[in-house]
Amino acid sequence: GGGGWGLGRGGGNGVGGNLGLFCLGWSLVSPVWKSGIEPFWLGGIFALYVLGTHVTKDLGDIDGDRAAGYQTLPVVWGGNRSARFVAPFFFLPFLGWPLGAWLEVIQLDLERAFWLAGGLMVVGLPGVWGLRSPRSRSAWRWMYLQLLVAHLGPCWIYLWS
């Protein structure tokens, strides 16, 4: 715990740093000087995902965060309301792939981008199911698994396109 959504002590959660790292990583797949916005689009999808789903980690430690004086989203809003807020982030950011392919700002095939987004939404279902019990740690375990699969999917599409 300790600082979900930048409400805690210690200066926030580093969302900007995460966006920077994601963009830097994806610039290796699609160099900035060659494609312009593509690494930022791809990095933005992951940053949006992490921005929303990282709160699942705080759901398991509401009492500890409260005792330490951290004002995380689950401490401020409560476990159930925070879980309802987090659930769409297991799905919605991945619509950025077909949208980006349709807008031609990323070099993914539109049909493959839809399959990738749909597949990741299915992978996210157990994470959302884990939110039924907000203090359970199963949601954040699925969040990390989904994030790993989400990175491998576009890499596979770029390699095989």
pLDDT the model gives residue 48: 87
Residue 2: predicted pLDDT: 47
Model pLDDT, residue 147: 86
Contacts of 46 (CB under 8 A, 6+ apart): 18, 22, 93, 147, 150, 151
| pLDDT at residue 148 in the model | 86
The residue to which tokens 């994470």 are assigned: 127
> What's the CA gap between 137 and 28, in Å, rounded?
33
Q: What is the pLDDT of residue 36?
A: 74
3-state secondary structure 108-147: CCHHHHHHHHHHHHHHHHHHHHHCCCCCCCHHHHHHHHHH
Residue 6 has a pLDDT of 45
pLDDT in tens, the chain (161 residues): 444 444 444 444 454 555 566 666 666 665 555 667 888 888 888 888 888 888 888 888 888 999 999 998 899 999 889 888 989 998 999 999 999 999 998 888 899 999 999 999 998 888 888 887 766 677 878 888 888 888 888 877 777 76
72 neighbors 8 (Cβ within 8 angstroms): yes
The single-letter code of the amino acid at 28 is: L
| Upper half-sphere CA count for residue 111 (Cβ side, 13 Å) | 1
In the structure encoding, which two tokens stand for residue 133, read together? 């019990």
Joined tokens for residue 44: 């933005």
- pLDDT of the residue at 4: 46
> What pLDDT score does 32 carry?
55
